[in-house]
Amino acid sequence: MLLETIKGPRDVQRLSRDEAKALAGEIRTFLVSAVARTGGHLGPNLGVVELTIAIHRAFDSPHDTVVWDTGHQSYVHKLLTGRQDFSGLRSAGGLSGYPSRAESEHDVVENSHATTSLSWADGIAQAYRLRGEHDRHVVAVIGDGALTGGMAWEAINNIAADKTLPLTIIVNDNERSYAPTTGGLAQHLATLRTTRGYERFLAWGKQTLGRTPVVGSAMYDTLHGVKKGLKDIVAPQGMFEDLGLKYVGPVDGHDIEAVEKTLRQARTYGGPVLVHVLTQKGRGYAPALADEGDRFHAVGPIDPETGEAVASSGVPWTDVFEDELVRIARRRQDVVGITAAMCIPVGLAKFQAEFPQRVFDVGIAEQHAATSAAGMAFAGLHPVFAVYATFLNRAFDQLLMDIALHKAGVTFVLDRAGVTGPDGASHHGMWDLSLLQVVPGIHVAAPRDAARVREELREALDVADAPSVLRYSKGSVPAQDIPAVERVGGVDVLHRSASADVLVVTVGPMAGIGLDVAHRLTAHGMAATVVDPRWVLPVDPALVEMAGQVRLVVVIEDGSRVGGVGSRLAQEVTDAGLGTRVVALGIPPHFLDHGDRGAILASLGLTGQDVTRRVVEELARLEPAMDGTPVVEDSQ
């Protein structure tokens, strides 16, 4: 097989044209087989096979720098740079699902948040020039979906102003991000896709002049009245060229020879060039092409023949939210949904299907989504912005200044909060609980089970004068709801011991671990009370009062322990003049690698056994005497 002979880009460059085409077929077969076993981003990678081969034939990585926007379409790049063991893809110790500097010198940008590639490329190209490395070129591959994000256009604004920057921008236009790309840019790219400028120009000439026109500057100079119209007919790419970018395309992204030729021309131009490449997401795999909902953008393990998912047990948290939101929307006409190009993954598809006018897909533009939501709230609606927790980071200023400052009733639903698992460092939703602590007036709920998702979502939508947040993790809700034995204030008591020395405070899905700790402590002859605050912000006075009745409080959360729920509770205990020791158990301030969620939590000491051991150790430390000073210890 040809693929087995590819150890790096030089091997790709030595292939004949026919061999390059054969390699593309082998790669598609490999991807379907490998990703079917492990799960991963299948559709995007099937769509860029020929494009990636052409890039590595036209440019010389790593001497030339290739930057992948988002990076979930980098599997082919990995194969062509010597990484062909996909057996552990997205698992601990295996290949990352995104570019990784630890894996290869050919990988540059690990951040899998979209719209960043052009800024990276601009900075790298500027540095090469200033260092006198004039033989090095930079290539940025960005999808049409990512061009809906404002950061990409901030970069274009600067790139276009520098006419000598050695930079090629490849727009991978497949009309989709997760779902079909929306907005004015998408409409413009559609015009470029469907326009046959030259043929339209000839037809105009025959009709208007009675003969076939000769294309040239002299003719344009004599047709002052229709010059602008001709430009639009022959070159609808004018939007890019008006910005100062040389535009080339559209090019068939599945024609290796055509793409390679175009890229070689682009690198000799002497300035920034935008190459518009048309590709087909899921190319060569019938189940992906037949799917209208983009189910094959990212898959779990599947049957490679049929594309059907291998059966998994449990009901996803997202599904519970999706069903409940539709029920609420049927009786509340003011409720609307907002998504940043991820309608299906974040659970707004059913809402959109039933109320298409009430769901707004703004593209990959979280900042715009948040401030637009503030405007909707001002005008009498209650927006629900459903977004991955890791992407909330991108809209923090808007949440703080446009929503919280203006006391706007906007609900954020944070999917994939906490440790997410296989997608790695940039996708773990581990920062939200720390970031949100500093937002004045905010309400934050962390449901522990399906019943609480429904209950707390309704409560969040009743908050009309401040932002509210509902956060839950990736995966399935507990098989059975976790009932409370009583509710004190707004706090659910999950396990009560009258003589407890320990209060175990659990955040969201950590409730199961808290109950396990209580049972283990009982076996050691110790007693603990386990509570779920339900709403971690604002801190319930009843929770502070409970903390004052014990010697030790242990907070278990799946967010950063720096500035997290445990840290906030310790501050409230201190402000109340209590002497209780508060220990925060959560995620340390480190970037976490990809792997199984359960295994990652175990590595952090967030298991019933490890937490129990820590409680016993802390109680032993408290035995001699309490010094009367409340303490929070940020530790595993």
Are 197 and 233 within 8 A, CB to CB?
A: yes
Answer yes or no: is pLDDT of 182 > 70.
no
Q: Exposed e or buried b for every residue in 525-564, given b needs 16+ CB within 10 A?
A: ebbbbbbbbbbbbebbebbbebbeebbbbbbbbbbbbebb
Question: Quick one: CA torsion of 259, 261, 264, 265, rounded to 10 degrees?
Answer: -110
Q: What pLDDT, on the 0 to 100 scale, is given for residue 629?
A: 45
Taking domain 488-634, whether its CATH number is 3.90.550.10 is answered by: no
How far apart are the C-alpha atoms of 68 and 75, rounded to whole Å? 11
Q: What pLDDT, on the 0 to 100 scale, is given for residue 110?
A: 84
Answer yes or no: is pLDDT of 630 > 80.
no
Q: Give 392's pLDDT tier (boundaries 50, 70, 90).
A: very high
3-state SS, residue 465: coil
The bridge status of strand 443-445 relative to strand 535-537 is antiparallel
Neighbours of 483 (CB within 10 A): 9
Q: Is 567 annotated as a binding residue?
A: no
Q: Is 104 annotated as a binding residue?
A: no
What global pTM score does this model have?
Answer: 0.82
Q: Which of 1-10, 95-104, 619-628 has the highest mean pLDDT?
A: 1-10
Catalytic residue among 50, 260, 322, 366: 366
Residue type, 53: I
Answer yes or no: is pLDDT of 196 > 90.
no
Answer yes or no: is pLDDT of 80 > 70.
yes
Q: What pLDDT, on the 0 to 100 scale, is given for residue 632?
A: 46
Answer yes or no: is pLDDT of 183 > 90.
no
Q: Is 449 annotated as a binding residue?
A: no
Bridge partners of 505, per DSSP, are 531, 555
Q: Is 366 a catalytic residue?
A: yes
3-state SS, residue 90: coil
Bridge partners of 492, per DSSP, are 487, 532
How far apart are the C-alpha atoms of 170 and 276, rounded to whole Å? 6
Answer yes or no: is pLDDT of 331 > 90.
yes
User: What residues does each domain of the chain span?
Assistant: 3-195+236-290, 196-235, 317-471, 488-634
Over the Cα atoms of the chain, what is R_g? 28
Can you state the angle between helices 227-234 and 197-209, rounded to 10 degrees? 140
The more confident residue out of 470 and 219 is 470
Domain 317-471 and domain 488-634, same fold? Reply is yes
CATH, range 317-471 = 3.40.50.970
Are 492 and 504 within 8 A, CB to CB?
A: no
Question: Looking at residue 311, what DSSP letter applies?
Answer: P
Which one, of 311, 284, 232, lies nearest residue 24 by Cα? 284
Distance of CA 269 to the CA centre of its chain: 34
The string of pLDDT tens digits covering residues 319-329 is 999 999 999 99
Q: What pLDDT, on the 0 to 100 scale, is given for residue 129?
A: 92
Q: Give 125's pLDDT tier (boundaries 50, 70, 90).
A: very high
All residues at 6 or more sequence positions from 378 whose CB lies less than 8 Å from its CB, including other chains: 406, 408
Q: Is 114 annotated as a binding residue?
A: yes
Q: What pLDDT, on the 0 to 100 scale, is given for residue 299?
A: 76
How far apart are the C-alpha atoms of 350 and 293, rounded to whole Å? 12
231 exposure class (CB count in 10 Å sphere: 0-12, 13-18, 19+): middle
Catalytic residue among 57, 176, 246, 281: 281
How far apart are the C-alpha atoms of 561 and 61, rounded to whole Å? 40
Distance of CA 614 to the CA centre of its chain: 34
The more confident residue out of 230 and 494 is 494
All residues at 6 or more sequence positions from 577 whose CB lies less than 8 Å from its CB, including other chains: none
Question: Looking at residue 358, what DSSP letter applies?
Answer: G
Q: Give 412's pLDDT tier (boundaries 50, 70, 90).
A: very high
Answer yes or no: is pLDDT of 347 > 70.
yes
Please give the C-alpha separations between residue 117 and each of 76, 121, 244, 270, 434, in angstroms, as whole numbers.
Answer: 18, 6, 19, 20, 27
Are 129 and 65 within 8 A, CB to CB?
A: no
Answer yes or no: is pLDDT of 223 > 70.
no
Average pLDDT over residues 140-163: 87
Average confidence score pLDDT of the chain:
86
Q: Is 285 annotated as a binding residue?
A: yes
Are 143 and 70 within 8 A, CB to CB?
A: yes
Q: Is 146 annotated as a binding residue?
A: yes
Average pLDDT over residues 543-563: 94
The string of pLDDT tens digits covering residues 596-616 is 888 888 889 999 999 999 999
Length of the chain: 636
Answer yes or no: is pLDDT of 575 > 50.
yes
Q: What pLDDT, on the 0 to 100 scale, is given for residue 563?
A: 92
Put the strands of the sheet holding 167-173 in their side by side order.
65-68, 138-143, 167-173, 273-278, 246-252
Q: What pLDDT, on the 0 to 100 scale, is given for residue 633?
A: 52
Q: Is 217 annotated as a binding residue?
A: no
Average pLDDT over residues 458-484: 96
Q: Is 72 annotated as a binding residue?
A: yes
Average pLDDT over residues 534-556: 96
Here the tokens at position 510 are: 């950590």
> Phi first, then psi: what are they for 443, rounded to 5°?
-115, 125
Question: Looking at residue 480, what DSSP letter applies?
Answer: S
Q: What pLDDT, on the 0 to 100 scale, is given for residue 239?
A: 62
Catalytic residue among 136, 394, 568, 614: 394
Q: What pLDDT, on the 0 to 100 scale, is given for residue 419?
A: 86
How far apart are the C-alpha atoms of 448 and 293, rounded to whole Å? 30
Q: Give 81's pLDDT tier (boundaries 50, 70, 90).
A: very high
The more confident residue out of 362 and 624 is 362
Q: What pLDDT, on the 0 to 100 scale, is given for residue 293?
A: 64
Distance of CA 420 to the CA centre of its chain: 11
How far apart are the C-alpha atoms of 605 and 308, rounded to whole Å? 36
Q: Give 262's pLDDT tier (boundaries 50, 70, 90).
A: very high
How far apart are the C-alpha atoms of 55 and 631, rounded to whole Å? 56
Q: What pLDDT, on the 0 to 100 scale, is given for residue 207?
A: 56
- Which superfamily does 3-195+236-290 belong to? Thiamin diphosphate (ThDP)-binding fold, Pyr/PP domains (3.40.50.970)
The more confident residue out of 226 and 372 is 372
Answer yes or no: is pLDDT of 462 > 70.
yes
